Amino acid sequence: MSERNPIPLILTAIGSIAGTVAVLGFYGYLHVAKPQDALLLSEFTMLKTIPSEDYRVSLKAADQSAQCIDGVLVLFDLQQKGLSGVLVDDRKRAVRCNG
């Protein structure tokens, strides 16, 4: 039995993986998260409602929409289609909702 050279097999495996990643990236099946894709919790403020006090909010709607999915509050970005995330606190605990 003769010995085989493993270098062509290794190069073929690396080339196959690189080609697969390139094709998936070209057709949009890969998404590399960027820092600007994440909205920090500090960008949101909770307004506490007190029965006898008035509060003011802007008439213009935010660029995000929230929906209760499986008891967790999920935010959807209206500017970047397909971008969504779970609202969490500073300890990475999901904000729960009834729905």
Greater model confidence, 22 or 77: 22
Residue 41 has pLDDT above 50, yes or no: no
Residue 48 and residue 92 share a domain:
yes
Give 51: exposed, middle or buried? Use CB within 10 Å, 0-12, 13-18, 19+.
Answer: exposed
Residue 6 and residue 48 share a domain:
no
- How far is it, in rounded angstroms, from Cα 76 to Cα 27? 23
Residue 80 has pLDDT above 80, yes or no: no
Residue 44 and residue 91 share a domain:
yes
Considering the domain boundaries, does residue 79 fall inside one?
yes
Considering the domain boundaries, does residue 18 fall inside one?
yes
Considering the domain boundaries, does residue 35 fall inside one?
no
Give 5: exposed, middle or buried? Use CB within 10 Å, 0-12, 13-18, 19+.
Answer: exposed
pLDDT score recorded for residue 47: 76
50-71: pLDDT as tens digits: 888 887 888 888 888 888 988 9
Residue in this structure with the two tokens 């690396």, named with its chain if needed: 14
pLDDT score recorded for residue 3: 82
Confirm if 45 and 58 have CB atoms less than 8 A apart. Answer: no
Residue 22 has pLDDT above 70, yes or no: yes
Give 71: exposed, middle or buried? Use CB within 10 Å, 0-12, 13-18, 19+.
Answer: exposed
